[in-house]
Amino acid sequence: MDIQKTGSIDLSQKNVLISGASKGIGKAIATAFAKEGAAVYLCARNEIVLYNTVAELQTQYPAATIKAKPFDIAEKANVLAFGEWAQMEAAKYGTGEIDILVNNAGIFKPGSIYNEADGLLENLIATNLYSAYHLTRFIVPKMIDAKQGHIFNICSVASLGAYANGGSYSISKYALLGFSKNLREELKPHSIKVTAISPGAVLSDSWGDFDNSEQRIMEASDIADMIVASAKLSPQAVVEDMLIRPMLGDLP
C-alpha cells in the first residue's frame, strides 16, 4: 500500500505571535522564527529593550518582517489590544491570520506560600496564566476557521513538581500546564496543535550574573530550536509536552 507523505511544514511567510519577546527565551524564539523566514509580531513591557531587539533582528535578517509594540499583558485590555494590533499588522503582509502563537510572557518571583508578599499570587497568575488565556481566546477563533494553527505555552519544570522557594510561581505554572492540556483536547477536532514546553534552568535575566562558563545551564536558543523543530512537523504530528533540562540536571 502506498503511503502519501505530506512532509514538514514550511515556516516561511507564516505569521508568528510571541509575547514577552524582548529578551531571554522570547527573544531567542523570535530570532529562530525570523531565521526561518516567518513574519514575527512581538510584545514586551519595556519599550526600549523591545525596539532594540527589533533593530537587532532586522539587522540580522533584513528580509524578514519583524514588528513589535510594547504592552504589559498582565492587564486583559492590553492582551486584547496586542492581539488586535498583531492581526491588523499581519493583514498588511498577508491574510491577517496568526498561524503560530507562543505564549511566553511570564515573570519569576521566589517565595514561600506561607510568607510571600501579599498580592504576589494575583500578580503571577495575571502575568503567567491569564495573559495566555486571554490571548489564546482572542487568536484561536481565526485558527478554527482556517482549520490550522499551533499554540505553544512556555511552562516550566515548576509546572511538574514542587520545589523550595517556588511558591506562587509554581502555582501559576501548574495552572498554565493544566490550561495547555485542556486546550489540546478542545482543539483536536479543529486541527490545531497545542504544545506545552517545560524548560529547566535557562540562562536569562532571571539568573542575574550567573557564571555559565562551565555550561551548567541551558541556552535560550536550545528552547527556541526545539520549538521551531516542533512547528515544522507534518500536519498529522504534534509534540504535546516537551521537558527540557540541563544535561547535568536541575540546579539544587
pLDDT tens per residue, range 124-158: 999 999 999 999 999 999 999 999 999 999 999 99
Please check the confidence at residue 4 and state whether its pLDDT lies above 70. no
Which positions are annotated as active-site residues?
Answer: 169
Residue listed under C-alpha cell 514588528? 67
Cβ count within 10 A of residue 173? 25
State the SS3 of 139-201. Answer: HHHHHHHHCCEEEEEECCHHHCCCCCCCHHHHHHHHHHHHHHHHHHHHHHHHCEEEEEEEECC
Q: What is the mean pLDDT of residues 76-100?
A: 92
pLDDT of residue 221: 96
Task: Output the pLDDT for position 3.
Answer: 45
Mean pLDDT of 28-42: 97
Mean pLDDT score, 218-223: 94
And the C-alpha cell for 85?
494590533
DSSP state of 8: P
